[in-house]
């Protein structure tokens, strides 16, 4: 069914209801301002939201975050929860890049003191020492036994190998590892693709960015997160690389030919019961791939620490590159939420969305209990990125979920066409942003104009009370695959 914005009913300045109709089993809810809504209406996002609302066993509303755009099956920026018995799990509701996620590290360094040759030297050293690009391998090739351990232990495997400290794990979502991982449910092809990619950045929208805390909005929360104006910070955005992509591909194919699976009109939404044989296998393989991604970002963090120490001639204590937080984007998790006045467990699918726990949640580290979870929302290479904090209202209304980034405003092919003949490196340098990219094509695909304005996106989350502003960072130097 084709959905247009005239079908939406405005609830307030930031909420737009898609009323239940047709085959929908629940309402849809779009979080956006008027400008973002107009952009969203130009692709198939609303049609995909309708399709999600038709899936069996859906609990609560089908949600689209303000960075939403058309994806595979679910819209990117889509959130939906399902009953463990009557509901479903859908690979299209998680995505190909399982646990594509982001982490933020703070430092003890003043960004202004790193300007000029020191910053150039550092970003050049990082570009040379951090594996990035399509198919690019990591610092070590893992045998099957070690790879299985990575998929079981997540970031704890890296810490056990000296790639970080136990304190890092405290500031990772789920402690840096999803439960229920089953490496035996991961195909040999997926393992082959992941064997050499632990500790690598990848390509596409993945990046490593050095930035400066340009503005603090919420002083108590910023202090809890260890952030202050003028401080150098580092963002790392990466996922499960070829291993996760293959897991998604494998199970889309398996479910596609499973007569007992759920086969909606949109074949990209093929799904299965969580308790079915294929459902259990997919969830085990998905968690294994998510743990590979947690480990990947942990290894990248330690590579950043080592290279920065060597390049700047500073020891770990002087650098102070401590983890603020690490959050997953593309996962399905069994979580406990209040739904219609009662506590229940649901399978929450976050596809291009991030968790946003409010103050006092038992899963938060002690130092964040009073303020809520750091919600990390990176932007594009040329504008800002934001740190927000989760709220109790998000727990009530969005299954503790928030936007995860700026969200694409144009396709990669459109961006490449727009970038023809332009010297994007020089354009960004004119804004005092150093960029190191493995290919000009990737740089064009990821140009700032290819994305929505992240300031608008976080403005919706803040205005709606679902995640509130803590700090803004501005990019100084960026590495793209």
Q: Which of 206, 245, 337, 404 is catalytic?
A: 404
Q: Which residues are CB-neighbours of 282 under 8 A, at least 6 positions away?
A: 89, 91, 185, 251, 254, 255, 272
Dihedral, CA of residue 135, residue 95, residue 447 and residue 426, to nearest 10: -30
Q: Within 43-97, where are the H helices?
A: 45-53
C-alpha–C-alpha distance, residues 442 and 203, integer Å? 7
- Determine how many CB atoms are found less than 10 A away from the CB of residue 450: 22
End-to-end CA distance of the chain: 38
Q: Which residues are CB-neighbours of 173 under 8 A, at least 6 positions away?
A: 101, 325, 326, 327, 328, 355
How many residues are present in the chain? 481
Supply the DSSP string of 446-468, one letter for each residue: T-GGGB--HHHHHHHHHHTTSEE
Dihedral, CA of residue 56, residue 48, residue 71 and residue 449, to nearest 10: -150
Q: Are 214 and 472 in contact (CB under 8 A)?
A: yes
Q: Are 66 and 404 in contact (CB under 8 A)?
A: no
Q: Which residues are CB-neighbours of 259 under 8 A, at least 6 positions away?
A: none
C-alpha–C-alpha distance, residues 317 and 311, integer Å? 15
Is residue 404 among the annotated active site residues? yes
3-state DSSP call for residue 169?
Answer: helix
3-state DSSP call for residue 304?
Answer: helix
Q: Are 352 and 98 in contact (CB under 8 A)?
A: no
Q: 470: burial class by Cβ within 10 Å (0-12, 13-18, 19+)? A: buried
Question: Which residues are identified as catalytic?
Answer: 404
């Amino acid at each position: 069914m084709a959905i247009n914005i005239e079908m939406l009913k405005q609830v307030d300045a930031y909420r737009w209801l898609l009323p239940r109709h047709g085959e929908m089993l629940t309402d849809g809810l779009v979080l956006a301002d008027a400008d973002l809504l107009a952009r969203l209406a130009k692709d198939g996002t609303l049609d995909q939201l309708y399709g999600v609302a038709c899936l069996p066993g859906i609990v609560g509303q089908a949600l689209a975050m303000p960075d939403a755009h058309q994806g595979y099956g679910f819209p990117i920026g889509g959130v939906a929860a399902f009953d463990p018995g009557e509901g479903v799990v859908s690979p299209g509701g998680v995505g190909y890049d399982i646990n594509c996620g982001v982490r933020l590290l703070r430092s003890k360094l003043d960004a202004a003191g790193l300007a000029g040759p020191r910053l150039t030297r550092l970003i050049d050293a990082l570009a040379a020492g951090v594996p990035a690009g399509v198919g690019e391998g990591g610092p070590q090739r893992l045998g099957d036994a070690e790879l299985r351990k990575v998929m079981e232990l997540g970031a704890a495997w890296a810490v056990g190998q000296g790639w970080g400290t136990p304190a890092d794990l405290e500031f990772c979502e789920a402690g840096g590892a999803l439960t229920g991982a089953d490496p035996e449910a991961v195909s040999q092809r997926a393992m082959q693709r992941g064997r050499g990619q632990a500790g690598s950045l990848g390509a596409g929208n993945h990046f490593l960015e050095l930035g400066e805390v340009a503005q603090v909005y919420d002083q108590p929360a910023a202090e809890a997160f260890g952030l202050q104006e003028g401080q150098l910070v580092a963002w790392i955005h990466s996922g499960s690389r070829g291993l996760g992509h293959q897991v998604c591909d494998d199970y889309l194919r398996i479910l596609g030919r499973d007569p007992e699976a759920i086969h909606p009109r949109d074949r990209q939404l093929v799904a299965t019961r969580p308790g079915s044989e294929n459902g259990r296998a997919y969830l085990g393989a998905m968690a294994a791939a998510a743990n590979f991604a947690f480990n990947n970002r942990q290894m990248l963090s330690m590579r950043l620490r080592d290279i920065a120490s060597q390049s700047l001639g500073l020891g770990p204590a002087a650098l102070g590159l401590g983890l603020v937080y690490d959050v997953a984007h593309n996962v399905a998790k069994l979580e406990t939420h209040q739904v219609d006045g009662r506590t229940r467990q649901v399978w929450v699918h976050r596809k291009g969305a991030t968790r946003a726990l409010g103050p006092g949640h038992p899963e938060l580290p002690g130092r964040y209990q009073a303020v809520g979870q750091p919600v990390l929302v990176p932007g594009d290479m040329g504008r800002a990125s934001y740190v927000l904090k989760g709220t109790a209202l998000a727990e009530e209304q969005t299954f503790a979920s928030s936007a995860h980034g700026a969200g694409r405003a144009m396709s990669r092919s459109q961006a490449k066409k727009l970038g023809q003949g332009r010297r994007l490196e020089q354009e960004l340098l004119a804004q005092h942003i150093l960029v190191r990219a493995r290919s000009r094509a990737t740089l064009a695909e990821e140009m700032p104009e290819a994305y929505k304005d992240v300031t608008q996106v976080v403005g919706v989350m803040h205005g709606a009370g679902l995640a509130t502003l803590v700090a803004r960072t501005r990019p100084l130097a960026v590495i793209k695959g």
